[in-house]
């Protein structure tokens, strides 16, 4: 399902190795000046980096083919096309009938009766997350004018853990500073350890966790039941390949606490209502509480590895071995961290528009 959105409607299209990927954005206001500097910066951050991830260089030379004139939105559907460049489909071809473990190859070939394009993952490729960067950046520029800031850090790479956010005390400055960083972590020492592990990891791959915060969100955002903040965020986040889990606030840890410890009691502080803790991660009843919204995502190790793996030939139904050629990210946590920010920016803006349509 490639359409989503309540107050802003977005449509994704494209495949890893087609001519264009694209996104159609409907219901943005006319006269919005798109901050292309922010967009370009976010596209850069998402791009693979030498030594950290895959050597594939993508330029993301998007063009806007509708809904845009002289730097401003026209009110019509806003459409970005992103050309696919540097396509090396040859390196994928030999393995057409041999599904790569932990990729979509096998279930997709069944679902689509083998008509789906397998090279590069087709429309299951992580390449499509560039579309999240586009809508995420536009959303970010609108939210930041409303003083709402979203930031994420790499919480862990394999078993190397960064510090956690202090749940009940996250400033917008922390978010802004994380947004400046291509490999955002809270503890700089840990960053070096992580980078070293990544460098050492040859022919294999690493996963990790990402922790995100949404700061200064007004109280009461989210719609009861099927559009709770958790519902919508997780629906959208699980569109990002490789995410295997999501937790809010203390998440799975809260299950080990007594209610009397887990509950976030209220108190008055400088004439404002606040909480003594924020174990619920800024969300109650699916609504924002005014405290920082905090969530964590689990990113599985990149499935493409250079090591030889067991697989099967789908045509002959025989066991075989597979070496996945092509370009591989030893880890994609440091790229997905930026995608998650984009998803969150869009989701929060879309929910906020239920309250009013002031775009600032």
Question: Looking only at residues 29 through 88 of this chain, which bind a second copy when binding is defined by CB under 8 A?
Answer: 30-31, 63, 65-67, 69, 72-77, 79, 81
**According to the binding rule CB under 8 A, does residue 216 interact with a second copy?**
no
Q: Which of 55, 110, 189, 315 binds a second copy (CB under 8 A)?
A: 110
CA distance to 28, 34, 43, 149, 349, per residue, from 142 (Å): 11, 10, 17, 10, 8
Nearer to a second copy, 41 or 298 (CB): 298
**According to the binding rule CB under 8 A, does residue 323 interact with a second copy?**
no
Cβ burial 28-64 (10 Å sphere, 16+ → b, else e) = beeebebbeebbebbbebbbbeeebbbebebebebee
Nearer to a second copy, 8 or 186 (CB): 8
* Total of residues contacting a second copy (CB under 8 A): 143
CA 208 to chain centre: 13
CB of 273 to a second copy, least distance (A): 5
**According to the binding rule CB under 8 A, does residue 92 interact with a second copy?**
no
Q: Which of 187, 298, 325, 326 binds a second copy (CB under 8 A)?
A: 298
Distance CA 234, CA 41 (A): 25
Residues contacting residue 128 through CB under 8 Å, at least 6 positions apart: 12, 14, 16, 21
Q: Which of 96, 101, 146, 176 binds a second copy (CB under 8 A)?
A: 101
Stretch that binds a second copy, among 45-53, 103-111, 135-143, 167-175 (CB under 8 A): 103-111
CB of 177 to a second copy, least distance (A): 24
Distance CA 249, CA 263 (A): 12
12 is written with which tokens? 């994704």
Cβ(4)–Cβ(62) below 8 Å:
no
Distance CA 107, CA 113 (A): 10
Cβ(309)–Cβ(101) below 8 Å:
yes
The mark string for 153-192 relative to a second copy (x by CB under 8 A, - otherwise) is ---x-xx---------------------------------
Structural element, H or E, at residue 269? strand 266-269
Burial class (CB in 10 A: 0-12, 13-18, 19+), 348: buried
CB of 122 to a second copy, least distance (A): 6
Q: Which residues pair with 131 in a beta bridge?
A: none
Nearer to a second copy, 177 or 235 (CB): 235
Phi-psi region of 71 (alpha: psi -120 to 50; beta: other; left: phi over 0): left
Instruction: Report the interhelical angle of 229-237 vs 333-352 (nearest 10°).
Output: 140
Nearer to a second copy, 177 or 246 (CB): 246
Stretch that binds a second copy, among 87-95, 163-171, 187-195, 214-222 (CB under 8 A): 214-222
Stretch that binds a second copy, among 87-95, 143-151, 168-176, 198-206 (CB under 8 A): 198-206
Residues 226-255 touching a second copy, rule: CB under 8 A, are 226-228, 230-232, 234-236, 238-239, 241, 243-252, 254-255
Stretch that binds a second copy, among 21-29, 35-43, 52-60, 137-145 (CB under 8 A): 21-29
């Amino acid at each position: 399902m490639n359409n989503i959105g309540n107050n802003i409607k977005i449509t994704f299209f494209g495949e890893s190795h087609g001519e264009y990927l694209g996104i159609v954005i409907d219901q943005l206001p006319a006269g919005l000046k798109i901050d292309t500097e922010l967009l370009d910066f976010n596209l850069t951050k998402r791009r693979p980096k030498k030594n950290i991830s895959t050597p594939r260089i993508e330029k993301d030379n998007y063009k806007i083919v509708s809904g845009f004139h002289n730097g401003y939105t026209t009110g019509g559907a806003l459409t970005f096309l992103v050309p696919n460049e540097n396509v090396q489909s040859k390196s994928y071809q030999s393995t057409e009938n041999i599904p790569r473990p932990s990729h979509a190859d096998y279930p997709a070939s069944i679902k689509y009766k083998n008509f789906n394009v397998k090279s590069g993952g087709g429309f299951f490729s992580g390449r499509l997350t560039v579309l999240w960067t586009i809508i995420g950046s536009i959303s970010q520029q609108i939210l930041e004018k409303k003083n709402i800031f979203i930031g994420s850090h790499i919480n862990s790479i394999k078993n190397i853990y960064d510090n956690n956010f202090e749940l009940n005390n996250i400033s917008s400055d922390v978010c802004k500073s994380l947004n400046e960083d291509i490999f955002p972590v809270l503890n700089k020492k840990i960053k070096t350890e992580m980078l070293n592990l990544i460098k050492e990891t040859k022919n294999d791959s690493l996963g990790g966790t990402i922790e995100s915060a949404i700061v200064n969100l007004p109280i009461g955002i989210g719609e009861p039941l099927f559009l709770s903040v958790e519902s919508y965020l997780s629906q959208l986040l699980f569109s990002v390949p490789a995410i295997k889990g999501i937790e809010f606030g203390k998440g799975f840890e809260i299950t080990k606490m007594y209610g009397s410890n887990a509950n976030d009691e209220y108190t008055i502080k400088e004439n404002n209502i606040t909480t003594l803790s924020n174990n619920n991660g800024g969300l109650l009843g699916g609504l924002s509480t005014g405290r920082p919204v905090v969530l964590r995502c689990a990113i599985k190790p990149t499935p493409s590895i250079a090591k030889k793996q067991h697989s099967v030939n789908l045509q002959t139904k025989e066991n075989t071995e597979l070496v996945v050629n092509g370009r591989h990210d030893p880890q994609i946590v440091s790229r997905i961290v930026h995608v998650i920010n984009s998803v969150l920016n869009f989701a929060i803006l879309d929910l906020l528009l239920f309250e009013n349509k002031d775009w600032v």
